[in-house]
Structure 1
Amino acid sequence: MRKLLFLLMAVLIVFFLAACTANESAGKDPDEKTEEQGGEEGNGESIDDGGTGEKVLRLNNGIEPTSLDPSIGFDAVSWDPLNNLMEGLTRLDKDHRAGPGAAETWDISEDGLTYTFHLREDAKWSNGDPVVAEDFVYAWKYMLDPETASPAAFLGYFIEGAEAYNSGAGSVDDVGVKAVDEKTLEVTLAAPTGFFLDVLTNPAFFPINHKVAQENPNWHAEADSFVGNGPYKLESWEHDVEMVFVKNENYWDASTVKLDKVHFAMVNDTNTQYQMFESGELDTASIPPEMSDQLIDGDNVFIGPYGGLEFYRFNVTTEPFQNENIRKAFAYAINRADIAEFVVKNGVEPAYGYISPGFTSPTGADFRDANGDLVSFDPELAKQYLEDGMAEEGYDELPEITLTYNTSDTNKAVAEALQSMFQEHLGIEVKLENMEWGVFVEAQQNLELQMSRSSFINDYNDPVNFLESFITDSYMNRTGFASDAYDDLIAKGKSETDDEKRWEYLYEAEKMLAEEMIATPIRYYNTVVLEADGVEGILRHPVGYFDLKYADKK
């Protein structure tokens, strides 16, 4: 399951969020890389340390992680915990670049196809086992195994033989990853991929202690069996209630970790988590939309970019959205500026394209500026599209339409705003329906919903991450859209070695999404977080997963 920049991982305001790039998802919603319930935002403050003087940071994860199996937990509510319990070959550094992680160094062949990673001699698991190359081989082949049904498997397709194996057309033995020796991993790509080191920062590429997993396939399900290789280890996990992390003394860079404990609550309500922040039960929190005007300019507010998009998918296999003009009618009837300013608030920006600002092209231009606005608010044009579409389909009136969103106070407010706009500008009454996350994702994936909310949080720092979500048969597609021409653009947008030409393919692909209007953008994300006094050092990457390695609490 796209990386870039926009605010509002604000934790519960939605976050989500399922990628993804394939992904929402995202938005990434559990697979989209979602944004579903504020991964990292809205989190905690002073905790009673029992007089021990421990440094304990209290945060809010919003909801229960989908899974702490790196191949399955493909969403923000899983990524944020995973990124602090585990570590891949590369890790985003303080400058948001892919730097050394479990791999200390690497070599890249002249043709850009072979990467040789040299693991740290002192890289260990939380149980004391050494981190070895076979742990990565095991984890990646497990992710790609068709039986695993990993929503992240598509990310592995950059590797030679990976797509064929995952689709059932190839052998696991042909996947281009092998342990040269205990501390050397060799990866062969299907085509040169200049952003591959960024891709590897995604939790889907984290290693798995293969000895532990072979003995206990459910090693990731409980605190007493969980084994990680990151800055923290999982001390306790009361499902749907809380998780407690403690410093991992076996981590290769443990001396950098300042916190003794991190406490994650699971509160899926923006106002409740804000009240917890006010009472000192949380150290960080998102700002409830209705309090944005009075709080947004405070000294204790962190505001930063966050790569992601909230959007609505049209199911092109069901009436009336099989018609392109009717889809466009709904898209052009949306006043995105009003939704951003008066509904979501917190400084978010309306989205007139699919790729969020912050991706810099080979020529130095921002992708969004270069490709311009692709959809706008135009009620008169919307009415014309509706008239044309109904005539094409022979409709005297439209079939009943239901707009579905995953349960969240902010999602509900946005859905109600859309309902009102469709009534005002198109004269169409739209029913609203909310579903809990797991049920919602399954229904959306099975093409059971007409028009449904989605969010996409970039998995890695390249525009193709979002755009590839809509290739034919992608797990992230969820619209029924299929186009050989679009698939070809994305293939070229991944493999073209001339960077400027590669970006031209991506510009064309985004324009095609707008022309087909299989999904309509609503707003870009950003990160807006209240922080208690004394909290510092939390890394919030524009594209990536929040990092507590350098966090401190004075």
Structure 2
Amino acid sequence: MTKKRIGLLLALTLVMSVVFTACSPKEETPETPGETPGTETPGETPEEPSNEPSGTLKVGITEASGNFNPAYYSSSYDGYVVDLVFQGLATLNFEGDEYIPVVAKDWEISPDGKVITFNLREDVVFSDGEPLTASDVVWTYKLLSDPSYTGRYGSVVKDLEGYEAYAAGESEEFPGVVADGDYKVTFTFAEGKRTNFANTTFAIMPEHYYGEGVTYKNTAPVEEKSAAPVGSGPYVLDNFTEAQFIYLTRNDKYTGEGYMIKEILLQFVDQSTDIVQLMNGEVDLLAGVIEPAKIKEARDGGYSINEYPRSGYGYVNFNTEAGPTAEVAVRQALAYAFDTESFVNSYYKDPDSGMVLATTQNHPFSQISWVMSDELVSSLIDYSYDIEKAKSILDEAGWVAGADGIRAKDGKLLELNIAAMPEHDILATLIPMWEKAWGQELGVKLNISYLEFNTILDYVIYNSDANVDKWSLFFLATSITSADPDSIYSEFHSNDVGSGKDNTSRYKNAEVDRLLDEARKIMDPEEAKPLYAEVVKILNEEMPKIVVYANTYFDLYNSKVKNFNTSSLYGWVKAVRDAYIEE
């Protein structure tokens, strides 16, 4: 079965060898951006763009650590650079329901879903002029499988044939990814799984650059090149000045379609003034805005706005391994004593319409995930604010208030170490809520540690094993890049606990592991739904994560940016492919 594009669910289910496009049930299909004043709909082109890249797009960002290595980055802001500099074999289309070729020109999938063979384009070169070949694909996947690899993306390769022996250091042979000449590469998976195709689309890294000094069981030299990326994508990194800006220019060796904006400047902005910087022209784009007041100001100022359901949310992660939050009862009590609904109704209220632009939810799956339904949601524990229930849960668990009002158990105080970012708009609202409800009313001692963004990432991701006893909870936000519920696999599977890995709550549950492993083997999403529904219920009960808000995203941008179309699964970086600057 050779083809140039593949329906997303076809890529996931791999059950037939004929070409067709399947979609999720209608009510769960991601919506494209609605028509908002000043917003273009897909395919709408105000006027013909230049035939040559031109103009500068200035994008406001709040953070970036400077780690632009596809195999090691963690921050979504660093991910912007990675996605602009590197390419994979294929990517999702605007609707998020179909894979389309990028470095690959076509592919063939075996009827059992175990073998996927790609034919590569022969005109793709890296930004240093070296050709991209099948050996670079093989090298990238061997890097992720190496025994010494310490990054977050081991889940991409773990299902490949021969991974276990290669990753354990028992064999230098890796049959999971094999090159056949310069422009054909074959992936062989141990089992036919719904998730196999998605795992073939990782960013391709040049062996001649990143592989210098690398040997089997020694990948440290790769990590050392995290600040100077070399890829085959449409842009190259020109300058990164910490806490100020990231400057990218059009890759003159890029041979793909689109990307007619010549320069992209990622400008650091402050959350308290970013809308002012948009309005005065310091930046052209603020992506993923959530504050109603900023949206109103942009709307009143005649700026263009794209609106779509966010595939992601803001969340509190509990440390489920160490300290009081290792107890389910403590996490449940804190959830009941956290009035997320009041926060959402206040923080996300649109001053013009009175509408609330976000919701609460009692589960950690995306709003657009195909496992979620009204019936499933109604079956979950409702953690609506109930301080008396929270007190009762702690009483029953043996956490009793002392003379000073602070609860204790077996001689240990109910004490939470909260890792928080300074001068963060949402945390400036949440922390006083926690101090009142958790501290004053529930009898919990709160220790607030204000840490820079990169320090928090070091605590909970990069060096998490060494810092496990230093924190109880933190607040961050996340984007989920697929409607497939398997996208949360690495966040909750016990294999992904540890330094450099995604399970930052350090959550371990053997039944959740089993269900996640079994569900990804099921080709038909409808048949997989019951297993994922059980995962939803367990996570809802055990509460390793509180979703604080699940909101609508608003991309606010200058009207000189044309043909800029975003959606739940098609963020601004992908939208740059078809956008241009009207001079």
- TM-score for both structures, normalised by structure 2: 0.77
Counterpart check, 1:377 vs 2:378: no
Aligned to 1:487: 513
Tell me, yes or no, if the aligned pair for 2:89 and 2:200 is still in contact at 8 Å: yes
Aligned to 1:37: none
- Residue 401 of structure 1 aligns to which amino acid in structure 2? L
Tell me how far apart the structure 1 counterparts of residues 502 and 211 of structure 2 sit (CA, whole Å).
30
How far off is 1:105 after superposition? 0.6
- 1:353 aligned to 358, 363, 388, which one? 363
Aligned to 1:20: none
How far off is 1:427 after superposition? 4.4
Aligned to 1:502: 528
Aligned residue-pair number: 492
- Structure 1 residues 239-268: Cα deviation after superposition (integer angstroms, max 9, x where no partner): 4432222222322224x222111111133x
Tell me how far apart the structure 1 counterparts of residues 548 and 53 of structure 2 sit (CA, whole Å).
46
Aligned to 2:539: 513
Tell me how far apart the structure 2 counterparts of residues 207 and 408 of structure 1 sit (CA, whole Å).
37
- Residue 194 of structure 1 aligns to which amino acid in structure 2? R
Moved over 6 A (4+): none
How far off is 1:327 after superposition? 1.6
- TM-score for both structures, normalised by structure 1: 0.81
- 1:327 aligned to 331, 336, 360, which one? 331
- 1:53-132 paired onto structure 2 within 5 Å: 54-96=54-96, 97-132=98-133
Tell me how far apart the structure 2 counterparts of residues 433 and 336 of structure 1 sit (CA, whole Å).
22
- Summarize the Cα distance change of 1:78–1:98 in structure 2 as closer, same or farther, 3 Å threshold: farther
- Residue 278 of structure 1 aligns to which amino acid in structure 2? M
Counterpart check, 1:450 vs 2:472: yes
SS in 2 for 1:479: coil
Aligned to 2:578: 550
- Residue 263 of structure 1 aligns to which amino acid in structure 2? L
Tell me how far apart the structure 2 counterparts of residues 145 and 526 of structure 1 sit (CA, whole Å).
40
SS in 1 for 2:59: strand
- 2:456 aligned to 426, 436, 440, which one? 440
Aligned to 1:138: 139
- Summarize the Cα distance change of 1:324–1:438 in structure 2 as closer, same or farther, 3 Å threshold: same
SS in 2 for 1:495: coil
- Residue 238 of structure 2 aligns to which amino acid in structure 1? E
How far off is 1:388 after superposition? 1.2
Tell me, yes or no, if the aligned pair for 1:467 and 1:510 is still in contact at 8 Å: no
Tell me, yes or no, if the aligned pair for 1:192 and 1:495 is still in contact at 8 Å: yes
Tell me how far apart the structure 1 counterparts of residues 579 and 295 of structure 2 sit (CA, whole Å).
28
Tell me how far apart the structure 2 counterparts of residues 382 and 109 of structure 1 sit (CA, whole Å).
53
Counterpart check, 1:154 vs 2:155: yes
- 2:231 aligned to 228, 231, 254, which one? 228
Tell me how far apart the structure 1 counterparts of residues 509 and 538 of structure 2 sit (CA, whole Å).
10
How far off is 1:533 after superposition? 1.5
Counterpart check, 1:207 vs 2:213: no
- Summarize the Cα distance change of 1:55–1:72 in structure 2 as closer, same or farther, 3 Å threshold: same
Aligned to 2:14: none
| RMSD (Å), alpha carbons | 2.9
Counterpart check, 1:399 vs 2:405: no
SS in 1 for 2:553: strand
Counterpart check, 1:465 vs 2:487: yes
- Structure 1 residues 39-61: Cα deviation after superposition (integer angstroms, max 9, x where no partner): xxxxxxxxxxxxx9941111123
How far off is 1:185 after superposition? 0.8
How far off is 1:184 after superposition? 0.5
Counterpart check, 1:477 vs 2:503: yes
How far off is 1:451 after superposition? 2.2
Counterpart check, 1:249 vs 2:252: yes
How far off is 1:345 after superposition? 5.6
**Larger CA deviation: 179-188 vs 453-462:** 453-462
Aligned to 2:396: 388
- 1:317 aligned to 315, 321, 330, which one? 321
Aligned to 1:416: 432
Tell me how far apart the structure 2 counterparts of residues 504 and 169 of structure 1 sit (CA, whole Å).
37
How far off is 1:151 after superposition? 1.2
Bigger Rg over Cα? 2
Tell me how far apart the structure 1 counterparts of residues 247 and 315 of structure 2 sit (CA, whole Å).
33
How far off is 1:103 after superposition? 0.6
Q: Which segments of 5 or more consecutive residues in structure 2 lack a partner in the other structure?
A: 1-7, 9-51, 214-220, 351-356, 401-407
SS in 1 for 2:520: helix
- Structure 1 residues 301-344: Cα deviation after superposition (integer angstroms, max 9, x where no partner): 22212211322222233332233222211111122122223236
- Structure 1 residues 336-369: Cα deviation after superposition (integer angstroms, max 9, x where no partner): 12222323667232222211211225xxxx4576
- Summarize the Cα distance change of 1:58–1:330 in structure 2 as closer, same or farther, 3 Å threshold: same
- Summarize the Cα distance change of 1:148–1:408 in structure 2 as closer, same or farther, 3 Å threshold: farther
- Summarize the Cα distance change of 1:461–1:159 in structure 2 as closer, same or farther, 3 Å threshold: farther
Tell me, yes or no, if the aligned pair for 2:290 and 2:553 is still in contact at 8 Å: no
Tell me how far apart the structure 2 counterparts of residues 93 and 459 of structure 1 sit (CA, whole Å).
12
- Summarize the Cα distance change of 1:60–1:294 in structure 2 as closer, same or farther, 3 Å threshold: closer
- Residue 262 of structure 1 aligns to which amino acid in structure 2? I
SS in 1 for 2:209: helix
Aligned to 2:28: none
How far off is 1:496 after superposition? 2.4
Tell me how far apart the structure 1 counterparts of residues 259 and 295 of structure 2 sit (CA, whole Å).
36
SS in 2 for 1:415: helix
Aligned to 1:196: 196
Tell me how far apart the structure 2 counterparts of residues 398 and 540 of structure 1 sit (CA, whole Å).
48
Tell me, yes or no, if the aligned pair for 1:486 and 1:509 is still in contact at 8 Å: yes
Aligned to 2:20: none
Provide the identity percentage. 20
SS in 1 for 2:537: helix
Tell me, yes or no, if the aligned pair for 2:308 and 2:552 is still in contact at 8 Å: yes
